[in-house]
């Protein structure tokens, strides 16, 4: 049993779960990192790098486990300064995909995530007043290009040996 499973089962005193989100784009070296709470958090990534997550009013709804074709992570981030909206708008204007990484830390050990990170692609965003509501998906099938190659004997030579 992992320590996170123990925390989930028994909720020991003094141990707090700290969810974090990282939004990144290929055209920017500095991703947008935010965490739940009132204080910025220094935390280690799975790569060993130590980074700062900016404290924010944030709510996250993790997708339930299942075999559906598309699972969505829904989250709302405080956008009082407009930082999240600018980051997302700039990415959409330039046609850049926006990657969303969800990590869960425990307050007793911020050196690495308590479980493997969940990685999503941004699908939709709604800007309302002082917060941003974003939907990210594991399997953004709608955003995938359809196969454009036609399988002929000249392209796939083994096809000429298959009989009807």
What's residue 51's pLDDT?
95
What's residue 104's pLDDT?
92
Q: Computed over its alpha carbons, how large is the radius of gyration of the chain?
A: 20
What separation, in Å, do the N-terminal and C-terminal C-alpha atoms of the chain show?
A: 54
In tens, the pLDDT along 96-112 reads 888 999 999 999 989 99
SS3 category, 47: coil
**Which residue's entry shows tokens 């009132």?**
38
Instruction: Decide the pairing of beta strands 131-137 and 32-36.
Output: unpaired
SS3 track for 93-122: HCCCCCEEEEEEEECCECCCCCCCCEEEEE
- Domain of 152, in residue numbers: 3-161
In sequence order, the β-bridge partners of residue 51 are 43
Weakly modelled stretches of the chain, pLDDT under 70: 1, 3-7, 64-71, 80-81, 139-153, 159-164
What's residue 136's pLDDT?
83
Say how far apart CA 153 and CA 151 lie, in whole Å. 7
């Amino acid at each position: 049993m992992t320590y996170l499973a123990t925390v989930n089962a028994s909720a020991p005193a003094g141990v707090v779960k700290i969810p974090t989100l990282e939004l990144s784009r290929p055209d920017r070296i500095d991703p947008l990192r935010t965490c739940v709470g009132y204080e910025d958090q220094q935390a280690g990534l799975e790569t060993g790098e130590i980074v700062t997550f900016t404290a924010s009013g944030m709510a996250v709804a993790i997708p339930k486990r299942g075999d559906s074709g598309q699972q969505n992570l829904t989250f709302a981030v405080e956008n009082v300064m407009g930082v999240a909206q600018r980051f997302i708008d700039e990415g959409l204007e330039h046609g850049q995909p926006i990657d969303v990484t969800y990590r869960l830390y425990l307050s007793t050990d911020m050196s690495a995530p308590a479980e493997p990170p969940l990685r999503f692609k941004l699908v939709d965003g709604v800007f309302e007043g002082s917060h941003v509501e974003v939907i990210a998906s594991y399997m953004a099938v709608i955003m995938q290009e359809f196969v454009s190659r036609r399988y002929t004997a000249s392209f796939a030579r083994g096809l000429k040996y298959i009989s009807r």
